[in-house]
Amino acid sequence: MSNETLDVLVVGGGPGGYVAAIRAGQLGLKVACVEANHLGGICLNWGCIPTKALLRNAELYRTMKDHGDELGFVFDNLSFDLSKIIARSRGIADRFSKGIAMLFKKNNVTWIPGRGTLLGGGQVQVEGPEGTSTLSAKHIIMATGARARELPFAPYDGERVIHYKQAMIPEELPKSMVIIGAGAIGVEFAYFYNAFGVDVTIIEMQSRLVPVEDEDSSKELTRAFKKSGIRVLTDSSVQSIDVGKEGVSVQVGLPRGKEETLQVDRVLVAVGVQGNVEDLGLEEVGVKVDKGHIVVDSSYQTSAEGVYAIGDVIGAPWLAHVASAEGICCVERIAGHERPDVPYENIPGCTYCQPEIASVGQTERALKGAGVEYRVGKFPFKASGKAVAAHETTGFVKVLFDKKHGELLGAHLVGHGATEMIHELLLARTLEATEKDILHTVHAHPTLSEGIHEAVGAAFGESINF
């Protein structure tokens, strides 16, 4: 690049960074994005997209293996080719990463391969394949993401103790596996490996799987997991692991002071992420970092003038769609546009194992704890004609309404297609729709989305089909 000062320089090309860069280009700003590894970041290359390809394979294989006869499919020897499954996943990630490079060209964004470090005074030093250079920008956006958190007693060795990246590209499947952590990443990998015949045990310190979700959602997932043969240990903690040549010995503390030692081939650690804040020059230029995350205000401005931060590096919620929303909001405000705050109270949470889980807003436990009077409506998919026809009857739609004002306070879906269905309820919350607005909206029959209509009806004594 020339020595011309940029309007915006984005450090990091993940779902926050590349989206911010593209929006800046659309707004006519002179913009560049520094990314050392691969455009799209962890989400596109090692998370959101390729994992969904793996989970789709697992879903198809399990459906044929466990329910093929019921569905009328007859085969002598159903099998799978792991190498092709992994290759398909990696190919999809590569395709979309290259697609971002094309979007950059379309929107006048310059991609600068390399690693960026803040120098102060609006300057960033870039160490890339062609050497070291210095760039100047009026506004610098740090979008460096996060990485898998490591347990002190279970360092990753890439063979016996692994993180999510390594779990996505196994050359062969282990016979047995312990997964530490039952958040979205943990339960998605539990489903994938179990579907292909691995003996899976999932361990969670809290009292239930996916502990951030509504309790009914956790219970439904637990039932499904146990039915499929996944061993679930909640209120339990891993006290130590011992890696040997033949496998891993995992010492587990169980409820009521009991202990158990598990002998497995592999351990997957899925206990969350930590921000990538090291060796970026943050402290040197006065950017405040707290507990491993960059501190920002509502416009994503850091404590250093002209330096902003978005995405996983600023902390929870660690979601790709949140990072993208933050990137757009940040850039539009830099450009002087009127832009409302990102609605953190209306962010969907989605987990893509089967059954899927999707939610927005408050849980029933949170409402009880806050003393809020509410109505609850619930509709099981076993009463849905479309779900029965599709052989996907696990799960439900659950809605929570404020008893006094009729506000939709929360929605919790479990089942096939839940991550697609949640958006009707998100839009309802955004538009402050009442139960009458939803009930007076004619839903197509037969669809899974009818379950939303029925659940809302149930909350107000108007459910027709359950």
Residues constituting the chain: 466
Cα angle: 229, vertex 231, 233; to 5 degrees: 160
Query: Distance (Å, rounded) from C-alpha 24 to C-alpha 7?
Result: 9
- 266: Cβ contacts below 8 Å, ≥ 6 apart: 159, 160, 161, 162, 174, 176, 177, 178, 247, 248
Q: Which tokens sit at 333? A: 């405000």
- Among 405, 412, 445, 453, which one carries the catalytic annotation? 445
Amino acid (1-letter code) at residue 309: A
The amino acid occupying position 344 is Y
Alpha-carbon separation of residue 243 from 56, 248, 361 (angstroms): 32, 5, 42
**Which of 366, 431, 445, 434 shows the shortest CA–CA distance to 403?**
434
158, two tokens: 């890439």
> Residue 263 carries which side chain, given as an amino acid letter?
Q
Calpha distance 172→266 (Å, rounded): 12
What one-character DSSP code corresponds to residue 151?
A: B
What distance in Å separates the CA atoms of residue 48 and residue 246, rounded to the nearest whole number? Answer: 32
139 is catalytic: no
3-state secondary structure of 178: strand
The amino acid present at 18, given as its one-letter code, is Y
3 state DSSP class of 109: strand
Report whether 394 contacts 424 (CB < 8 A).
no
The tokens for 159 are 């063979």
SS3 290: strand
| Measured distance CA(376)–CA(408) in Å, rounded | 10
Active site residues: 445
